[in-house]
Amino acid sequence: MKSLALFRASRRYRSGDDAFSQAFANAMTPYFSPVTLSEVSPQWHDDLLESYPLSLVPFRHGIYNRTVRPMMIRDAVRRLAPHGVVCVRDELWRGDATALFEREIARRNTLFYNYFDNWFAVPHLAQRAKVRCELADAIIVPTVRLKEICEESYPQKPVFAIEEPVDCSRFDASAVEKAEVPTLVWAGSPFSQAELVQMRDILTAVYGVRPFDLVVLTGDRKPALSLPIPWRWVPFSPANEQEYIPRAWAGFCRLGTDAYAAAKGCYKTKVYMAAGTVPVVTDIGHARQIVRAAGTGFLIKDNDHRQWIDILVQLLTSRDTAIREGGRARDFAREQFAYGSIAADWAEAIQKVC
């Protein structure tokens, strides 16, 4: 068995579930030994940067670039077992330090470049991965669309399209329980709150027919949203995510109909499903593939205003439907997106290269 090392950025630079977690490392142990998970930016590094006054930001970054970063790179590379397998993730570094770090790995190990961050699964942003993809022995991406792009850009490299995993275990595996009153949830980052503004008229129309509780799960401060219906902000945290998403009757995800939206893996939709909540999502790209494969959930063609209203009213009218379809979505997610399933796909891909 070959050793496997997973490198990721520190927590402050990560979002959502990614394959570079301890749970995923544990899921890889049947296939590799040992399996190690390392943060290239350890906690002492973050503490060091925070110890400098904010007024010295340029100085702090100067110290970081010239001394701390090379030291961390050397330390990380020294920990690797020779001739093992190393996977690095998109979010590690920017600029020349990326090439330095991965060039040292590539000298002694089979190097996989893991392009799992769906926010960057679009052609023009993928170009920033050029150095990494050229250094890597193989590339893992989350969508077939991006696989085709990478195969065209790097015709000599094996490219594997493997779904992004979801930590399904953080949601209770017992029967789906729903709130007594109709409840709709939107969960997302502060950078995507424009989606809620685009839904203003739709949510207002739905509320006029079927009043409901709207839960906005996002960020660490209340967003400056002006919605003409009552809504409740819940700060994003693992505990709040586990409490509010499973109890919602439906969760929505309004995507644009451009190439950027089509390439996204729609992680939000997968989380709704893992929590046992029916997803309502724009009929485009990878989100479409997920919902169709699951055989549950609802797709909105071209973000049609009337269809959004009709489907949300339908879902918010029947608690039994929310429980039944939510359970089907959860079962599919636990089979298709769980760490164990994705780990098996990773192992198969890596063994083909090694």
Per-residue pLDDT 10s for the chain (354 aa) are: 899 999 876 665 555 556 778 889 999 999 999 999 887 766 666 676 667 666 665 565 555 555 666 777 777 788 888 889 999 886 655 555 566 778 888 888 999 988 765 444 455 555 667 777 888 999 998 888 788 888 988 899 999 999 888 888 888 766 678 999 999 999 987 667 888 999 999 999 999 999 999 999 998 788 888 899 999 999 988 889 999 999 999 999 998 887 777 766 688 899 999 999 999 999 998 889 999 999 999 999 999 999 999 999 999 999 999 999 999 999 999 999 989 999 999 999 999 999
User: What is the Cα–Cα distance from 131 to 96, expressed in whole angstroms?
Assistant: 9
CATH topology for 168-336 is Rossmann fold (3.40.50)
- Geometric angle at alpha carbon 116, from 110 and 122, rounded to 5°: 115
Whole-Å CA distances, 238 to 17, 87, 90, 332: 11, 26, 23, 22
- Portions of the chain given CATH number 3.40.50.2000: 4-165+338-353, 168-336
Give 234's strand partners. Answer: 217
- Contact at 8 Å (CB) between 220 and 248? no
Strand partners, 216: 186, 233
210 in Cβ contact with 316 (< 8 Å): yes
Surface-to-core class of residue 179, CB atoms within 10 Å of its CB (0-12 exposed, 13-18 middle, 19+ buried):
middle
348: phi then psi, degrees, rounded to nearest 5: -60, -45
CB neighbours of residue 250 within 10 Å: 26
Contacts of 54 (CB under 8 A, 6+ apart): none
- Name the architecture of domain 4-165+338-353: 3-Layer(aba) Sandwich (3.40)
Entry pTM: 0.84
Axis crossing angle, helix 267-274 with helix 285-294, rounded to the nearest 10: 20
